[in-house]
Structure 1
Amino acid sequence: MASSASLLCFSLLSLFLLQSCVAQIEQMPLFRSGHDQQQRKQQQRWQTDCRLDRLNALQPSRRVQSEAGVSEYWDLESDNQLQCAGVSAVRHTIQNRGLLLPFFSNAPVIFYVIQGRGFHGAVIPGCPETFEESGFQQSQRSQEQHQKVREICEGDIVAAPAGVAQWVYNNGDSPLVLVSFTDVGNQANQLDLNTRRFHIGGNPLKDQRSEQEMRQQSQSQSRRRRSESASERRNPNGNIFSGFDVGLLAESFKIDNKLASRLQNQNDRRERIVRVREDLHIVSPGRIQEEERRHEYRRGSYDEEEYRRRSNGGEYMMTNGLEETFCTLRMRHNIDRPSQADIFNPRGGRVTTVNNFNLPILRFLRLTAERGVLYKNAMMAPHFNLNSHSVFYVTRGSGRCQIVDDFGRTVFDGEVQEGQLLVVPQNYAVAKQASNRGFEWIAIKTNDNAMRNPLAGRISAIRALPEDLLSNAFRISREQARNLKNNREEVTVFSTQSSQQGRKY
């Protein structure tokens, strides 16, 4: 009898836990849909007629000055290699107390902080305002509340899904510089192959007009239908509230018409980056606690693993993603920490990859980020990306790159300098060598688990082939084949003789 009661109790407990798990899963539609998508046949990326017989290192195609900063764009419409990759980019330079106004786009976005520090906010639909001011005398109506705000600094990457509004504020003493990539070819984009930014505030007319002109030129060159070009010739109107009737806005927000008209910012000429007259008042965890943690870490009060745990709000940064609900997704990751490099050569440099394993949100954005640092004259082994395009931006120094297509033709052979962008198409072989100034880059790859196959080095494709096969393929002796396979013992990042002798190219 006692055993029957115990069995009944155990069954009821199991049923309760099962229902709790189901309820939790139902609150995470993003994870559920991601799992379903993996079970189904993957939707293809936007397909275009790629002309990739000649690649170029790209400078920004347009530049827009704002009140408190500058935005420089690599428009997808302006270059065929960007169209093929389905990725556009923009570099924002935000001055002290500069605020990049809230916007959202039709595709996933990843940005990298080149220098400076500040705050980043993202508005995730349906999630509560978990940051609020403390105060017993304040009513809930007058108490400040908003969604989570995260501090960002040099070396951080921040990822945001399509349609998630985000903003950036510079609270530091130096300019905050970030480069942002938009994966327009992503399956989350249900519109056309254009980067479409929807502005929640401000009146970025100059920005929109220059973007409109770029699209019109692209449409004229591609000889699209007149009706499409005519629709694009309509004058820009500012933020998304500008297209609504003032009375409708007043009724929606339950405000008067005068205040509703202010939402449209018709006479605002500050563009996308505006200056905050006084320091921006937001609710955020105190910086003092972070400084205390850093001080304790430097003194050796606790090790790096403990520091990472405390710096992430008590949670370890290396997670499997199951504990992250839709509203608590971790969007930020510092990719610059040398201790977290995947490949490190003390004489050559390092490569760090962030993908769906160490930043689970990338699983749903289907993107990978790569940070490369080559020391003076070092090189990265010739390699190719198995399952993704790669778009990289040079953050410091310069280097020589060679890219080879499927016909064995050199489609790019030249120097890529700081501030330039270069596209490496899927399966195209690429080699990089740093100049005397070193070579650093940030790359975005169009797969959440992008894979790279080196052609030289200890774990290369050549190393995996039989000696006799290499001997017959290249008409060399077996001794030469053995040397070809085994002479380079380093992995991916190589030191070179010119590292000590200096180099010319």
Structure 2
Amino acid sequence: MSLSSSSNSLPYSTDQGGYSTHDTLVLLGIGFFATAVSVLMIVRSEAGDTEYFDERNEQFRCAGVFVIRRVIEPQGLVVPRYSNTPALAYIIQGKGYVGLTFPGCPATHQQQFQLFEQRQSDQAHKFRDEHQKIHEFRQGDVVALPASVAHWFYNGGDTPAVVVYVYDIKSFANQLEPRQKEFLLAGNNQRGQQIFEHSIFQHSGQNIFSGFNTEVLSEALGINTEASKRLQSQNDQRGDIIRVKHGLQLLKPTLTQRQEEHRQYQQVQYREGQYNGLDENFCTIKARVNIENPSRADYYNPRAGRITLLNNQKFPILNLIGMGAARVNLYQCISSKEVCEYRLPIIKEDLCLMVYFIRGNY
């Protein structure tokens, strides 16, 4: 699979004629002509919108992909969830934070403090909050979302963040039916469920905790009944993009603190024989990379534009995703007699290509 992002280097305009490609998704499948695909429906949440493309589209089904676009308002949080399929998320605009929780990996934030405080004071001290590394994202970033890895997005900027997700339905990691399914770990999507009941979509609107008895959930997690009800979010009508009223408070240690904590943590694991390759090759793998920076272009022509390719050598986590990406900036033809042609290098004949046009016209 390959996800490509293409944009004109000039501001969006159609004064010179042609077809507008502003926020347009185009499919280039095997044996098909290039076809623009429009948004089928929009589901409104408290702090943003989720736009769904038609998964019944013949080229979507042939390519085995599912595409959505989210607009996250400032202080908007896309509640934690995981999917049965891997995905690539491209940040069209905005900035904020994204958190991924890899199964079997330690919560590196606060867990180190817990270990050393226990050793020094010989008293068990348990933090209420611990998590794995949180990544900052900005415009032009590609975020890899492996299957079954819980993740969330938070808009920490002053402008809306726009994110396009492409899910690989045919991935070997998908052990369920051939369609994308999301499993919410918080909140619910009752608004979306009301719309989906009369459409092609059959996504569940409740989070996974809603299926448990309140008393059983309280006993299993060691929390009171009221907290269990809040966790199930049965009467929450805010949707799956909620607003954090006072902003999301994150742990952001300084560089020297981070380096010292990581060194001490590795020493403890080596001493106790707990260190293995999983930590190095999976738990600390980079999940975000920027492909908008002109200095990282793989192909450049001062008259035509530039191309930045993203493969598993630059971005090793793609070995888990099974997808690729490219960002293309095409310059406007200066002369009306000049023929402008774009050909993406190293394209296989059996490759299904998805192109998302950010702005420009042709």
With the length of structure 1 as denominator, give the TM-score of the two structures: 0.55
Kindly state the Cα deviation for residue 145 of structure 1 after the two structures are TM-superposed: 2.2
Structure 1 residue 163 corresponds to structure 2 residue 148? yes
The partner residue of 2:356 within 393, 396, 414 is 393
CA distance, structure 2, for counterparts of residue 339 and residue 132 of structure 1: 36
Q: SS of 2:359's equivalent?
A: strand
Change (3 A) 1:51 1:337: closer
Which residue is equivalent to 2:288?
Answer: 332
Find the counterpart in structure 2 of residue 275 from structure 1. Answer: 243
Q: Deviation at 1:61?
A: 1.1
User: Cα gap change, 1:143/1:269 in structure 2, threshold over 3 Å: closer, same or farther?
Assistant: closer
AA aligned to 2:48 is G
Distance 1:198 1:362 in 2: 22
2:40 to 43, 61, 83: 61
Letter of the aligned partner of 2:141 in structure 1? D
Structure 2 counterpart of 1:177: 162
What pairs with 1:81-120 in structure 2 (closer than 5 Å)? 81-120=59-98
If you compute each CA radius of gyration, which structure gives the higher value, 1 or 2?
Answer: 1
Tell me which amino acid in the other structure corresponds to 1:253. Answer: L
Aligned length: 301
Question: Would the alpha carbon gap of residues 172 and 272 (structure 1) be closer, same or farther in structure 2, given more than 3 Å must change?
Answer: same
CA distance in 2 between partners of 1:88 and 1:80 (Å)? 12
State the one-letter code of the partner of 1:190.
Answer: Q
Residues 231-267 of structure 1 deviation map (CA, whole Å, 9 limit, x = unaligned): x6xx955111112222221221122222212211111
Contact 2:84 2:174 in 1 (8 A): yes
Change in CA separation of 1:329 and 1:236 when aligned onto 2, cut-off 3 Å: closer
Unmatched tracts of structure 1, length 5 or more: 1-49, 217-231, 290-320, 400-505
Of the candidates 132, 152, 156, which is equivalent to residue 137 of structure 2?
152
CA contact (8 A) 1:104 1:162 kept: yes
- Which of 334, 341, 359 does residue 379 from structure 1 map onto? 341
Contact residue 192 and residue 205 of structure 2 kept, 8 A: no
Offset at residue 212 of structure 1 (A)? 4.4
Once the two structures are superposed, what CA deviation does each residue of 1:46-85 show, in whole Å capped at 9, x if it has no partner? xxxx996565301111101111111111142x31111111
Instruction: Give me the whole-angstrom Cα distance separating, in 1, the residues matched to 2:204 and 2:230.
Output: 18
Deviations 1:202-226 (CA, angstroms, capped at 9, x unpaired): 110122343443326xxxxxxxxxx
Please report how far the alpha carbon of residue 324 of structure 1 lies from its aligned counterpart in structure 2 after TM superposition. Answer: 4.2
Higher-helix-fraction structure = 1
Partner SS state of residue 309, structure 2: strand
CA distance in 1 between partners of 2:279 and 2:152 (Å) = 26
Code of the aligned partner of 1:182: Y
- TM-score between both structures, scaled by the size of structure 2: 0.76
Letter in 2 for 1:109: A
Query: Does the 8 A contact of 2:30 with 2:350 survive in 1?
Result: no
Q: Which residue of 2 aligns with 1:258?
A: 226
Distance between the aligned counterparts of 1:139 and 1:398, measured in 2?
A: 63
Structure 2: unaligned runs, 5 residues or longer: 1-28, 258-276, 334-339
Amino acid at match of 1:95: E
Q: SS at the partner of 2:343? A: strand
Q: Quick one: which of 176, 184, 190 aligns to 1:199?
A: 184
Aligned partner (choices 201, 207, 212) of residue 244 of structure 1: 212
Question: For 1:401-416, what aligned pairs fall within 5 Å after superposition?
Answer: none
Contact kept in structure 2, 1:132 and 1:283, CA below 8 Å = no
Q: State the partner residue of 1:223.
A: none
Contact 2:79 2:240 in 1 (8 A): yes
Instruction: Give the distance between the partners of 1:75 and 1:247, measured in 2 at CA.
Output: 40
Amino acid at match of 1:396: R
1:131 aligns with 2:109: yes
The verdict on how the C-alpha distance between 1:211 and 1:288 changes in structure 2, with shifts beyond 3 A counting, is farther
Q: Give yes or no for contact 2:66–2:168 (8 Å, CA) kept in 1.
A: yes
Q: Does 1:189 align with 2:174?
A: yes
Q: 1:168 to 1:279 in 2, by over 3 A?
A: same
> 1:143, 1:203 → 2: CA distance?
23
Give the distance between the partners of 2:65 and 2:244, measured in 1 at CA.
31
Cα distance in 2, alignment partners of residues 374 and 53 from structure 1 = 24
Residue 344 (1) aligns with residue 322 (2): no
What is the identity, as a one-letter code, of the residue corresponding to 2:41?
Answer: R
Identical-pair percentage:
39
Q: Deviations over 1:261-280 (max 9, x none)?
A: 22111111110110001111
The answer as to whether partners of 1:110 and 1:182 remain within 8 angstroms in 2 is yes
Tell me which amino acid in the other structure corresponds to 1:70: D
SS in 2 for 1:132: helix
Superposition RMSD in Å: 2.9
For the residues of structure 2 that align with 1:53 and 1:265, how far apart are their CA atoms?
44
Give the corresponding residue for 1:293: none
CA distance in structure 1 between the partners assigned to 2:192 and 2:216 by the alignment: 27
Q: 1:64 to 1:159 in 2, by over 3 A?
A: same
